[in-house]
A and B are shown apart, each in its own frame.
Chain A
Amino acid sequence: MERPLLEVQDLHVHYKTDDGTARAVNGIDFSIHRGETLGLVGETGAGKTTTALALLGLVPHPPGKITGGRILFQGENLLEKSGKELRRLRGNRISIIFQDPMTSLNPLFPAGKQIAENLTLHQNLPPREALKKAGELLARVGIPASRSGNYPHEFSGGMKQRVVIAMALACNPALLIADEPTTALDVTIQAQILEILRDLKEDFGLSLLMISHDLGVVAEVADRVAVMYAGDIVETGSVGQVFEEPRHPYTIGLLNSLPDIDAPRGESLQPITGLMPDPMELPRGCSFAPRCPRVMPVCEEQKPPVFSPDQGRGVRCFLYHQTGGQP
């Protein structure tokens, strides 16, 4: 099998504060193949954005620090690269789209110029050519090239996100990280943006890391899914596996808590009781144990390793220890 484009191995990210150490990411493993879309889902505070920032070498330091693991991009460990080498990758081979398009663009520069900046930086294009190409990129995401000279405040939220997408794709990256790219947008605009992302992914042949707390969004665009909880990836599998046959009690709870339009009226939602643990005081064993309906004594003692109950699936849960997959 071909080597994955991105392999994350045992990644740890901690934030040191005066009150203690917040363990935001605690030894996650995942990989993304060329042309593949991995959906990273989880609640707010599960460590999704920290993971994205770690991939770019942008974890704010201090207080944040990558304390262990490897990030292999095209076979090279990004954590061993110098700042300069990382800068050459950022915005060039690996791009990111942040959550809020309203604040992602610098208010003082025209949209086209902000896109052109990537091109002059990474492809050494002369300014004039870079601007021309920026116009073409805008047209590619559905904004007339003539608006290249407009400032961010002259665009709507959905259009700003298109500009951000054009910016991210300017240098034809191999990996695009989309951190909640539709969360701040209206539902109709969300659909348009997802459509654009899907199109461009095909055209540019890129791999996509789609981060979202919205299971619907992930189900729509992802090939595989990784479910994140309190800094751990608790379950991975194909979209079909995870959404139709969830294994981890957290994933099961998450899917049960979704409103279902086919459910009889008046039936109440089933939330997961309790809250995600404080990253400063994570439980010794499984971090989901305090909320887990199927908790066992071992769960509170030891952190479960990853079991593989079926092909292509990983579950971090003792339920799958000896049963050969079936709980």
Chain B
Amino acid sequence: MTSFLLKRLLALVPVLLGASFIVFSIMHLTPGDPAVLLLPQDASAEDIAVMRESLGLNRPFLVQYGSFLQGILRGDLGTSFRSGQPVAGLIMSRLPATMQLAAASLIVAIIIGLVAGIVAAVRQYTLWDGGAMVTALLGVSMPNFWLGLMLILFFSVFWAGRFGSVLLPASGYGTIQHMIMPAIVLGTAHAAFVTRITRSSMLEVLRQDYIRMARAKGLSPFRVVAIHALRNALLPVVTIVGLRFGVLLGGSVVTERIFAWPGIGRLLIDAVRAQDYAVVQGIILTYAIIFSLVTLGVDLIYGLVDPRIRSQYR
């Protein structure tokens, strides 16, 4: 298992190298000159040239990429053009908020999704099943910015108007109450996906002979489902949760914006609007790293769940 982990970590190197190259290239190809942006409107062509020189922007592309890589290895992602602060520091100060939000919404998604999916599968073609599937369809189809605004409208605006104070704060960060609405908004679509995949995976497993065998052993219906079926049904669910983590990060950009959540998603939007290249670059790279680590985590969970896969981890 340790050697498997080392191998997988080593395999991350080329992946991240590729990601960094793509990120850097895109930033390089994007129109707009940072030197111009940094200088006052009336700066002369000479001033601009001096600025380009000092930023190293007139060096060949690959040389710039090389020094960008060197910086990364030292933990230096460059300096924000706008605030003059180091990018790495900016990201690290915002990352915990984003990870908290992602974790909270994943928990929401997994708990709701698993329970609804299992109930729908065990009670197939009943009202429970139909209700879960319709709700899941709504959840998948609902844009999260719209859901966010509706929640704010109800729990903050309407509630304050009716009862004198808000039930949940519309924006900000720091308490559990602040976390509830953003987590629901970000988690809803995922809960819907998890529900659907859990249901279909569970239905597949419940038809298996070993489930009939488990019943024939005299196990209670609860134990049959919770012990024998659920673990077998979990692999596709883990896959979907892992794959959709990227979508979750993407969604967090919008959600953080709506709820004024101080995470890297909001930092990213602000940076894009200000054409703060170094920050944009750093954040996208951070997303790539997180996504790679999540994928690795998914593979490790596979091994924990399924001994057949574990025996291949050598």
Which residues of A line the B interface, CB within 8 A?
56, 58, 87-92, 95-96, 98, 100, 103-108, 110, 117-118, 121-122, 151, 153-154, 164, 167
Contact = CB atoms under 8 A, between A and B. Distances in A.
A90 B307 contact: no
A90 B210 contact: no
Given A100-B209, A106-B210, A108-B232, A121 B218 contact: yes
A106 B205 CA distance: 10
* Cβ-closest 7 pairs across A and B: A91-B217, A90-B218, A103-B209, A91-B218, A106-B210, A151-B307, A87-B218
B218 A103 contact: no
Contacts of A107: 210, 232, 306-308
Contact of A105 (B210, B216, B305, B308): B210
A167 B208 CA distance: 18
A109 to B, nearest CB: 8
A98 B216 CA distance: 10
A121 B215 contact: no
B231 A108 contact: yes
Nearest to B219: A121
B218 A92 contact: yes
Contact of A58 (B212, B220, B306): B212
B217 A121 contact: yes
A108 B234 CA distance: 11
A153 B307 contact: yes
B237 to A, nearest CB: 14
A174 B306 CA distance: 35
Nearest to B214: A106
B218 A89 contact: yes
Contacts of B219: 87, 91, 117, 121
Nearest to A96: B216
B213 interface: yes
B292 to A, nearest CB: 27
A209 to B, nearest CB: 13
Contacts of A90: 215-218
Contact of A122 (B210, B212, B216, B218): B218
A105 B213 contact: yes
Contact of A106 (B218, B232, B311): B232
A166 B308 CA distance: 22
Contacts of A98: 209, 212-213, 216
A237 B129 CA distance: 49
Given A106-B228, A107-B232, A56 B308 contact: no
Nearest to B221: A83
Contacts of A56: 216
B308 A153 contact: yes
A118 to B, nearest CB: 5
